Amino acid sequence: MSLTITLPNRIQQHLESGWGDALPRKAKEALAVEGFRSGILSVGEIAEMLGLCINDADGFLKERGLMAIESIDEIDHGSETLENLLAK
């Protein structure tokens, strides 16, 4: 999906002067952060959206003061995986 954001020219120029070619990435990151903060996006979805691995997505969120809280299902799955690895 493509998303178009219309900004006043002055605001666009101001943002581009600060971020240059990184403006689209910064906008995507802001959307990812707000999606996570509001509970709409998971860490996995943040990783997918930004082209990161889970650990890097977790770090990305932590850098912005957001802690990734795993759901009970994710914790159970992780525990099962660890138990299976330890049993080998």
Residue 72, pLDDT > 90, answer no
Instruction: Map residue 16 onto helix, strand or coil.
Output: helix
Name the residue ranges covered by the structural domains of the chain.
Answer: 9-87
Q: Could you tell me the pLDDT band of residue 69, with boundaries at 50, 70 and 90?
A: low
What 23-32 contacts at long range (C-beta under 8 Å, 24+ apart), as own/partner pairs, is: 29/60, 31/3, 32/60
pLDDT tens string 14-52:
999 999 999 999 999 999 999 999 989 999 999 999 999
Q: State pTM to two decimals.
A: 0.72
The Cα 83–Cα 46 span in angstroms is: 27
CA distances in angstroms from 22 to 4, 6, 25, 38, 52, listed in the order given: 16, 17, 5, 24, 16
